[in-house]
């Protein structure tokens, strides 16, 4: 399955030249079309980010919607101090962290997208397609992914946030620090500890 | 076997693996990697880990109703904002702009001033300067504290006769009562007391 191309936040560049900051400024001034543009551009990415956090699609969509609604409600107080995506993901991260604090999401791992559920009859093809993985490869991939997600879910929330924002969403350490309202050196430490945990628990997969 | 240098470099390796390090910080890491096989191995593991994360966390497609659901929630938000009284941008001082509120506050304040002033005028025995002690019926009133500015104010417990209330004397510095128009009523009482004392021939109260 080819990975869906998501609009990812830029990792470089100053915020004052960020076109999304200008769009958000127009939202502040009452431009609804600008807000629609921002939503269209980043909604999918935020849904995916929330999904990687909570592992539940419906809840991830609700959290993503709530993030945009919060930004809309606060539009008149908006002051550009960082890139727009940093601001957006800061809101989304706080919502996801609150969600994890409120509910125990460990163990609620849904069947991954693109992989047939073991309970369903999917995966049966009339014609063999050599580009698709075999059933054994499918199962192995499913198990590996489930195992990785399990290790991720056991990370402390801030380590998981820092890891996802940096290594999956592509934010710089500086932007991750803004999202998590901490310092860059703290982010470096969070990511170091998270990667050490992953390496220890997934050693047989990475050696 | 890890060394102290390995421990230091290890902290920077995750960022180095993603080319996130400043050149000044990356340079010593690169130099160390050239000579340390353990750290080279760790770097390869981190790169493999990034690859695994990307594969283990495939992107999902939001549900077909995601956008329309959000549009409905946003529309409800907009309606709620429009129905709310418009105080946007006025913040803390927004109440000043309510047309009925300012006159109401002014009238209330005026009434309060009149009431307080009337109460002050009608209750001279509550003067902070003088407490009139009528311990027994018909006895000449005693002046208290007027000549004793340093005396701490005290509850006039002895003055709690019928129709009298006891109360604390408020501390006041030695004051020229004539220059205190707010106490002129009390000054008038003092004059009365002086007259009474001179008539009765008693000495000045100590």
Does the beta-carbon distance from A43 to B12 stay under 8 Å?
Answer: no
Contacts of B53 in chain A (CB under 8 A): 148, 163, 167-168
The pLDDT of residue B139: 53
> Is residue B153 very low, low, confident or very high in pLDDT (cuts 50, 70, 90)?
very low
Of A3, A69, A173, the CB nearest to B15: A173
Predicted ipTM of the assembly: 0.75
The pLDDT of residue A156: 94
The pLDDT of residue B101: 74
The pLDDT of residue B160: 44
* Residue A90, min C-alpha distance to chain B (Å): 20
pLDDT digits (tens, 9 = 90+) for A19-74: 999 999 999 999 999 999 999 999 999 999 999 988 889 999 999 999 999 999 99
Q: Quick check: B94 pLDDT over 70?
A: no
Q: Is B57 on the interface with A (CB under 8 A)?
A: yes
Contacts of A169 in chain B (CB under 8 A): none
Task: For residue B165, report the phi and psi dihedrals to the nearest 5 degrees.
Answer: -120, 145
* Residue A19, min C-alpha distance to chain B (Å): 23
Q: Is the dihedral of CA A87, A88, A93, A96 positive or negative?
A: positive
Q: Tokens 């980010």 label which residue?
A: A49
Q: Which of A28, A72, A111, A167 has the most B C-beta neighbours within 10 Å, making it the best mutation to test the interface with B?
A: A167
Q: By C-alpha distance, which of A87, A85, A86 is closest to A77?
A: A87
Does the beta-carbon distance from A61 to B63 stay under 8 Å?
Answer: yes
The pLDDT of residue A90: 96
* Residue B8, min C-alpha distance to chain A (Å): 11
Q: Is B70 on the interface with A (CB under 8 A)?
A: yes
Does the beta-carbon distance from B60 to A205 stay under 8 Å?
Answer: no
Task: For residue B168, report the phi and psi dihedrals to the nearest 5 degrees.
Answer: -80, 140
Cβ neighbours of residue B205 under 8 Å, at least 6 residues apart?
A: B142, B143, B144, B146, B147, B197
Total Cβ atoms within 10 A of residue A42: 24
pLDDT digits (tens, 9 = 90+) for A88-147: 999 999 999 999 887 665 544 444 444 444 444 444 444 555 566 677 777 777 788 889
Contacts of A202 in chain B (CB under 8 A): 49, 52
Least confident of A170-179, B152-161, B174-183: B152-161
Does the beta-carbon distance from A52 to B55 stay under 8 Å?
Answer: no
The pLDDT of residue A43: 96
- List alpha helices for chain A, DSSP H: 19-28, 32-54, 57-73, 84-102, 135-153, 157-163, 173-180, 184-201, 203-206
Of A48, A173, A195, the CB nearest to B46: A195
3-state SS assignment for residue B168: strand
Does the beta-carbon distance from A68 to B54 stay under 8 Å?
Answer: no
Q: Which of A31, A111, A145 has the most B C-beta neighbours within 10 Å, making it the best mutation to test the interface with B?
A: A145
Q: What is the pTM for the complete model shown?
A: 0.61
The pLDDT of residue A145: 85
Average pLDDT of B119-132? 58
Cβ neighbours of residue B145 under 8 Å, at least 6 residues apart?
A: B129, B130, B131, B151, B153, B169
Of B14, B58, B66, the CB nearest to A191: B14
The pLDDT of residue A165: 94
The pLDDT of residue B2: 65
CA–CA distance, A141 with A33 (Å, rounded to integer):
42
pLDDT digits (tens, 9 = 90+) for B38-59: 999 999 999 999 888 888 887 8
A102-116, A131-145, B9-23, B127-141, range with greatest mean pLDDT: B9-23
3-state SS assignment for residue B176: coil
The pLDDT of residue B132: 45
* Residue A143, min C-alpha distance to chain B (Å): 10
CA–CA distance, B84 with B80 (Å, rounded to integer):
6
- List alpha helices for chain B, DSSP H: 4-17, 23-35, 37-56, 66-83, 101-122, 184-200
The average confidence (pLDDT) of chain B is 70
Q: Quick check: A163 pLDDT over 70?
A: yes
Q: Which of B60, B76, B90, B94 has the most A C-beta neighbours within 10 Å, making it the best mutation to test the interface with A?
A: B60
The pLDDT of residue B190: 55
């Amino acid at each position: 399955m080819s990975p869906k191309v998501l609009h990812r936040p830029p990792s470089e560049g100053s915020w004052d030249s960020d076109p999304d900051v200008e769009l958000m400024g127009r939202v502040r001034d009452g431009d609804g079309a600008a807000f629609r543009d921002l939503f269209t551009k980043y909604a999918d990415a935020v849904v995916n980010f929330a999904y990687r956090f909570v592992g539940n699609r419906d809840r991830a969509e609700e959290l993503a919607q709530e993030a945009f609604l919060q930004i809309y409600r606060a539009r008149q107080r908006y002051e550009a101090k960082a890139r727009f995506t940093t601001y957006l993901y800061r809101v989304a991260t706080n919502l996801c962290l609150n969600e994890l604090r409120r509910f125990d999401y460990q163990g609620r791992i849904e069947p991954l997208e693109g992989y047939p559920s073991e309970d369903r009859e999917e995966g049966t093809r009339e014609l063999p397609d050599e580009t698709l993985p075999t059933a054994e490869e499918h199962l192995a991939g499913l198990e590996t992914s489930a195992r990785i997600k399990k290790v991720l879910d056991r990370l402390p929330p801030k380590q998981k946030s820092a890891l996802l924002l940096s290594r999956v969403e592509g934010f710089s350490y500086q932007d991750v620090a803004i999202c998590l309202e901490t310092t860059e050196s703290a982010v470096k430490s969070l990511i170091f500890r998270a990667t050490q945990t992953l390496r220890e628990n997934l050693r047989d997969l990475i050696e | 076997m890890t060394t102290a240098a390995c421990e230091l470099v290890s902290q920077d390796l995750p960022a180095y693996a993603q080319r996130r390090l400043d050149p000044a910080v990356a340079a010593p890491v690169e130099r160390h990697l050239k000579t340390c096989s353990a750290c080279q191995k760790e770097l390869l593991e981190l790169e493999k880990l990034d690859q695994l994360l990307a594969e283990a966390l495939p992107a999902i497609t939001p549900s077909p109703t995601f956008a329309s659901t959000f549009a409905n929630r946003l529309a409800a938000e907009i309606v709620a904002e429009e129905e709310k009284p418009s105080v946007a941008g006025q913040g803390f001082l927004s109440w000043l702009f309510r047309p009925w509120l300012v006159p109401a506050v002014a009238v209330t304040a005026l009434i309060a001033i009149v009431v307080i002033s009337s109460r002050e005028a009608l209750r001279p025995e509550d003067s902070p300067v003088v407490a009139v002690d009528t311990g027994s019926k018909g006895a000449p009133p005693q002046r208290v504290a007027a000549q004793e500015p340093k005396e701490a104010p005290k509850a006039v417990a002895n003055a709690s006769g019928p129709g009298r209330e006891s109360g604390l004397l408020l501390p006041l510095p030695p004051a020229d009562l004539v220059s205190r128009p707010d106490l002129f009523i009390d000054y008038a009482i003092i004059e009365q007391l002086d007259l009474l004392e001179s008539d009765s021939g008693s000495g000045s109260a100590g």
